[in-house]
Structure 1
Amino acid sequence: MSLSPRWRARSSIVVCSLLCLAATPVSVDGAEAWDGGGAPPEDAVWWLAAEEEVEPSPSADVEAEPAPSRDELRLGDEPAPDDEVEPDEDEVAPGIDEDDEDGEQDPEQDLEQDPEEQPEEEPEEERPAPGPSTPAVRSSPIPLGSVLVAVGVLLVGAIALGRLLRRRPHDRPAASAPAMPLRGTIAETAASEDQPPSAAEVPPPAEVSSAPPLQPVPSVSEVARVDRRTLDLLLEVGKALIDSGDAVSHVHDVLRRIATVQGASHVGIMVLPTALIVSIPEGDSVETEVAPAGQQGLRLDQVDEVVRIATAAEQGRLTPAEGIAAIAAARERPPPTSDRVRVGGYMLLTVGLAMLLRGGVLELAVAAGLGVAVGALQLASHRVRDSYQPVLPVVAAFGVAAAVFGLGRLLPQLAVFPPLVSPLIAFLPGAVLTTAVFELSTGHVISGAGRLAAGMLRLVLLALGILAAAQLLGVPAAEVTTATTTAVSVLEPWVGVAVFGIGMVVFHGVRRASLGWILIVLYVAYAGQVLGGLFFGTTLSAFFGALAMTPVAMVVARQEHGPPALVSFMPGFWLLVPGALGLAGITSFLDEDRVQGIDSLVTMGTSMVGIALGVLLGMVVGGELTAKLMGSARSHEPADV
């Protein structure tokens, strides 16, 4: 059946009206109805919550007066006082959120309250504004007497350095001049660059020819034979320098100068901490040799001999055959003292470091006894197979820690840090870590990262041994960094420097003539560290120690009986003890004292970076001083850090 147009229009109007009514909210007791779709209106939130959650009160059977409608409230009609119903305790008042268990009032309801009835807010506690920190010189724990001694040491060192620089040329040691005429045309050219010709050697003006003299062209076999001997010399010298602990950048420079003197300036050299690669072109082919290195450590007396051989090879005073034989003899050189004397030297080394750590009489006695045991273990380790070498740090650390912690239980006044760290000085990788940072700062990323990983692994092995002993005896390993010490005297660390240097010379077999020079370098390094710690804190003190030590070590290396700078640098690195800080940090970190461990590790990292930067800056100053001291003569300036 069809509808007429009139009914169709009416039907459309009715449908539209119903739709409009369905979309319009309806007021129910002051709240708007909500169909459940979307977010509920604000006026309906509390009403819906009260309807669903509030239980009826016991007085619900009493018939309550109807609440005024919204229109009545809008007209301003207020309900009579008699009609007011006291709210029940269980009834939820408007403006209170039912989900809030504390019954906090709605913020909009707070605004409608009388300002006089609102509680006064308590004033917030005023925080003091951050002010300037206390200067390090005012909060430094360094005694005044130690500061005065440091100033005196630096003044004496500056005066002695000035006297060395004012020496006349003929007072310089004869060892700096070539001992024999240089061989070959290229060697003669290098010698002419090093020393100006005398008046007798300069030809008359009439005999001077503008054309260079003709030289015989060597045959192909002679060139190959010379290159083969040069290649062997470069390999032996390079491996010996790497085993000495020298930085790869300096080893590369030394080998490059030796190759130039030997007539092989076209040689290709790549130096790594564990390998040496040398290539020499031969016509249409290239001869390359790869040699492992860094597996056999050398004593300081052997390092002294190796550096002198390398210096002679740089100056062309050694043939390749002579240089190879000299390096082999230096490697096979026996210790200059007996094993008993060397163990006594290690005991002095341990006691000296314990004095530097401000240990008391009891700590020094314990360190001396443990130093004898660890020194004997060090000498016996050379007869152990290479496969057992990585276990020695763990064994040494476990034995020393067990003894110290056991004595700590019997003697509560014993401070564990000095007698625990000082006997392990030979295992601490302070020099390795500092050399790693130096190589990283100079762009040798592979070598620096490798040394850094090896040094950190050594610290982890030592820390594992200490933690094992602590777990066995039930002693918190974190006490390693929290124990307090009582120094015997203000001068104790300064006496400890001398004891440390003497023990270093005896244990490592350094020439006795070098003892005085090594002590000068050590005292200057420690004095610079003390003054740096006074003004800039202990974290940056190592930078000033390295900065003061480096120029002195380079000038001392130019003296007749002075040790090479590489020999005097190593005791200086052990004196600045970045490895001791790292051992304490890793031990605390593994013992779940994360804050103390991270703090010690950050201090260790800052000390290593400071030492590397101090050496870099000190090398610049030392290079100018040695140039002034030795004129145009070349020097073996080590970059062993």
Structure 2
Amino acid sequence: MNTSWRNALRSLTGVGADTPDAAVPESDVVAMLGVVGPALLASSRATNDVESTLRRLAHRYGRNDLRVFVLPTVILIEDGGARSPRTAVFAASGTALRLDQADAIERLLRRALDSAPAPADVTSGIERVVSGTPRFGWPLTLLGHVLLTVGFGLVLNPTLTALPIYVLLGILVGGIVMVGSRITTLSLLLPVVTAFVVALMVSVFIRPLVHDDVLRLVAPSLVSFLPGLTLTIAAVELTSGQIMAGASRLVYGIARLGLLAFGLYAGLSVAGAPHASAPVDDRLGSWAPWVGIALVSLGYYLFSSAPRGSLLWILYALVAAYAAQLLGNVLVGAQLSGFIGAAVAVPLIYLAGRIRSGAPTAIMLTCSYWLLVPGAMGFIGVSEAASGAAGATATILQTFGSLIAIAVGMMIGGAVSRDVGAFATSLRRSRSEAPTA
């Protein structure tokens, strides 16, 4: 990905050296946008948000004549100011960035919008961020995946007998992810292979000892494969009028769920064991999900190499999202609880993002997506449908209904945050410009 960005820069500018601030070639700005755009998409930003950011950046560099079109896998920039108008095409990689990379990119863009450095400086800064190594080595990264598995297990299925299983599966799946993601051929089949191995192992070795639902035991360990974030962004794009981007991302998320469900169904079929059982009676108390959220926060921090000083802010975002969702469950019921959760959590996260010592808003929003989105619920529903279980269709429909509710809540929360922020900014300006007595 770094090579393609560098080649795009050289092909458009003809040089690789920095450009003086006094005379910035127009093509340098286009090339810079072609590097920034894919980085924002890889930071799990919706296409409408990426378009808005690129237009603001173009305006900051005096290029109001540029037209920007963003799709999940490609960015088109039409240069209408040139003598012969042309359209530059930039491919976007499907590899998601770590949290520390997303943080560095957002901070770099803040500086670019504030002081407008040379476009080549912005481009080289993005490339250094993308090619950077994780903050933590493989032992801490693996520990992060284990904590994520246990944490989501406490939120989704908090039973005492399941806790050691979550630890074991977290180690197994984390190791598979860390090794398989480095092999290109295996990485394409990783969801199917991992789901198959986990389902087979749980059905053959663990299921006879622990009388619990195999699907609910397996789902937390596959949290790194669940496309909950993808499905939520798709719903946001669809409700924002980004039809092509939202539809393509939605299809990708459904296909990802299908691959996981196929691997799980294949593992259950080979094992020849039923996937469901009588409910267990060793559920932990109401405190378990809150402990799970704390573990998820630490797991994200380690597994995604979150930036320094962001752990408490990640915990703040997750607690705000979960508490708001519980409030929504009381006020409007489980189906619409995600709407209340997003509508309340998003303004709280934007408010925290305005604190100088706080983590970037994108980091906190990304973490809250994972908790608000019922990705595990969709995975269980699709798997039950593949297994012929009763009520699976209703579960799937409830999942997509929840996704739409969350998307609408996020849009309302984001709009409220922007309007309040704009009002506060204008109020400060009017006070500073008012004549003194």
TM-score by length of 2: 0.89
Counterpart of 2:338?
542
Q: Pairwise mapping of residues 397-546 of structure 1 onto structure 2 (< 5 A)?
A: 397-477=195-275, 479=276, 483-484=279-280, 486-546=282-342
Counterpart of 2:397?
602
Runs of 4+ with >4 A deviation: 482-485, 628-634
1:472 to 1:632, Cα distance in 2 relative to 1, 3 A: farther
1:588 matched to 2:384? The reply is yes
Contact 1:363–1:415 (8 Å) recurs in 2: no
Contact 1:501–1:515 (8 Å) recurs in 2: yes
**Secondary structure at the counterpart of residue 378 of structure 2:** helix
Sequence identity, in percent?
Answer: 32
Contact 1:440–1:449 (8 Å) recurs in 2: yes
Contact 2:234–2:247 (8 Å) recurs in 1: yes
**Which residue of 43, 54, 57 maps to 1:244?**
43
1:283 to 1:271, Cα distance in 2 relative to 1, 3 A: closer
Counterpart of 1:231?
30
Distance in 1 (CA, whole Å) between partners of 2:281 and 2:215 is 8
Distance in 1 (CA, whole Å) between partners of 2:281 and 2:383 is 19
**Displacement after TM superposition at 1:325 (Å):** 1.0
1:570 matched to 2:369? The reply is no
**Which residue of 394, 404, 412 maps to 1:617?**
412
Contact 1:514–1:563 (8 Å) recurs in 2: yes
Task: Give per-residue Cα distances to partners, 1:249-287, cap 9 Å, x unaligned.
Answer: 011111111111111110121110000111223543023
1:557 matched to 2:349? The reply is no
Distance in 2 (CA, whole Å) between partners of 1:392 and 1:632 is 53
Distance in 2 (CA, whole Å) between partners of 1:306 and 1:457 is 29
**Displacement after TM superposition at 1:486 (Å):** 3.5
**Displacement after TM superposition at 1:457 (Å):** 0.2
**Displacement after TM superposition at 1:388 (Å):** 3.1
**Displacement after TM superposition at 1:577 (Å):** 4.0
**Secondary structure at the counterpart of residue 285 of structure 2:** coil
Distance in 2 (CA, whole Å) between partners of 1:349 and 1:357 is 12
Contact 1:350–1:425 (8 Å) recurs in 2: yes
Task: Give per-residue Cα distances to partners, 1:469-499, cap 9 Å, x unaligned.
Answer: 111111234x28x755642222111111111
Contact 1:258–1:316 (8 Å) recurs in 2: no
Counterpart of 1:110?
none
Counterpart of 1:312?
111
Contact 2:261–2:383 (8 Å) recurs in 1: yes
Distance in 2 (CA, whole Å) between partners of 1:341 and 1:485 is 34
**Displacement after TM superposition at 1:448 (Å):** 0.3
Distance in 1 (CA, whole Å) between partners of 2:369 and 2:201 is 27
Contact 1:555–1:625 (8 Å) recurs in 2: no
**Displacement after TM superposition at 1:426 (Å):** 0.5
**Which residue of 156, 160, 178 maps to 1:357?**
156
**Secondary structure at the counterpart of residue 288 of structure 1:** strand
**Which residue of 333, 358, 375 maps to 1:579?**
375
Amino acid in the other structure paired with 2:271: L
Counterpart of 1:49?
none
Distance in 2 (CA, whole Å) between partners of 1:419 and 1:597 is 17
Structure 2 stretches lacking a partner, 5+ long: 1-20, 430-437
Farther-moved stretch of structure 1 (387-396 vs 425-434): 387-396
Contact 1:542–1:610 (8 Å) recurs in 2: yes
Counterpart of 1:31?
none
Q: Which has the higher helix share?
A: 2
**Displacement after TM superposition at 1:400 (Å):** 1.4
**Which residue of 382, 385, 395 maps to 2:193?**
395
* RMSD of aligned alpha carbons: 2.1
Contact 1:358–1:488 (8 Å) recurs in 2: no
Q: Pairwise mapping of residues 22-171 of structure 1 onto structure 2 (< 5 A)?
A: none
Structure 1 stretches lacking a partner, 5+ long: 1-182, 185-221, 635-641
Distance in 1 (CA, whole Å) between partners of 2:379 and 2:339 is 20
1:420 to 1:283, Cα distance in 2 relative to 1, 3 A: closer
Distance in 2 (CA, whole Å) between partners of 1:485 and 1:439 is 42
1:498 to 1:633, Cα distance in 2 relative to 1, 3 A: farther
Counterpart of 1:20?
none
**Displacement after TM superposition at 1:563 (Å):** 1.8
**Displacement after TM superposition at 1:398 (Å):** 0.9
Contact 1:416–1:483 (8 Å) recurs in 2: no
1:276 to 1:283, Cα distance in 2 relative to 1, 3 A: closer
Farther-moved stretch of structure 1 (508-517 vs 421-430): 508-517
Contact 1:554–1:626 (8 Å) recurs in 2: no
Contact 2:236–2:246 (8 Å) recurs in 1: yes
Distance in 2 (CA, whole Å) between partners of 1:379 and 1:581 is 25
**Which residue of 89, 96, 99 maps to 1:297?**
96
**Secondary structure at the counterpart of residue 65 of structure 2:** coil
Distance in 2 (CA, whole Å) between partners of 1:530 and 1:485 is 23
TM-score by length of 1: 0.61
Contact 1:347–1:503 (8 Å) recurs in 2: yes
Task: Give per-residue Cα distances to partners, 1:93-130, cap 9 Å, x unaligned.
Answer: xxxxxxxxxxxxxxxxxxxxxxxxxxxxxxxxxxxxxx
Contact 2:199–2:267 (8 Å) recurs in 1: yes
Farther-moved stretch of structure 1 (365-374 vs 315-324): 315-324
Contact 2:44–2:366 (8 Å) recurs in 1: no
1:411 to 1:254, Cα distance in 2 relative to 1, 3 A: same
Amino acid in the other structure paired with 1:601: I
Amino acid in the other structure paired with 2:98: R
